[in-house]
Structure 1
Amino acid sequence: MYTHHKTYHPYASPFDPCKPISEKSFSTPPHLYIGFQPPNLPQFSPLEALRCGTLWKDFYDPYYNAQEKANGGLPT
């Protein structure tokens, strides 16, 4: 199974002067998991497509950083 949100644990040297970040995360876009574009995909309206950055709803991925997720998806 795949997810659009992945995490990893970077190496932390015992000699680092600062407290290490134990877990980092990143987002992967949905188009990485579709090998080809199927016909008749649902589409956004032209105005919505400009806001979302894609015409097809299946390829839309709203990216929220950790701070925005804590605020319910609202930018600060």
Structure 2
Amino acid sequence: MFTHQKVYYPYVSPFDPCKPIKVKTYSTPPHLYIGFQPPNLPQFPPNLALFKGTLWKAFYDPYFSPYEIQREEDLS
């Protein structure tokens, strides 16, 4: 299944003095998965584009921390 949130499992040393983080996640932006910019992409209005950081809706990626998403799920 396709997702912008990726997961990896770093090496955990038996000699590490701290509690290990066994699973780490990172976010990949949408522009990595679009080989070229197709014509006539939907656009944000100019004032909203400045706030979002991109003019095209297809390239917008609202970043959420894994902890932030988990917190939202806990509230429901």
| TM-score in terms of structure 1 length | 0.87
Q: Tell me how far 1:67 sits from its aligned partner.
A: 2.8
Q: What value does the CA root-mean-square deviation take over the aligned residues?
A: 1.2
Question: 2:67 maps to what in 1?
Answer: 67
Q: Matched residue pairs, number?
A: 72
For structure 2, the 5+ residue unaligned runs are none
Q: Equivalents in 2 of 1:15, 1:52: separation in Å?
A: 44
Question: 1:34 maps to what in 2?
Answer: 34
3-state DSSP of counterpart to 1:7: strand
Q: Tell me how far 1:18 sits from its aligned partner.
A: 1.0
Q: Equivalents in 2 of 1:69, 1:45: separation in Å?
A: 28
Question: 1:49 maps to what in 2?
Answer: 49
For structure 1, the 5+ residue unaligned runs are none
Q: Equivalents in 2 of 1:37, 1:11: separation in Å?
A: 38
Cα deviation digits, residues 18-40 of structure 1 (max 9, x gap): 11001000000000000000000
Q: Equivalents in 2 of 1:37, 1:54: separation in Å?
A: 13
More helix by share: 2
Q: Equivalents in 1 of 2:33, 2:54: separation in Å?
A: 16
Cα deviation digits, residues 44-72 of structure 1 (max 9, x gap): 00111011100000000000112322343
Q: Equivalents in 2 of 1:8, 1:71: separation in Å?
A: 21
Q: Equivalents in 1 of 2:48, 2:68: separation in Å?
A: 21
3-state DSSP of counterpart to 1:20: coil
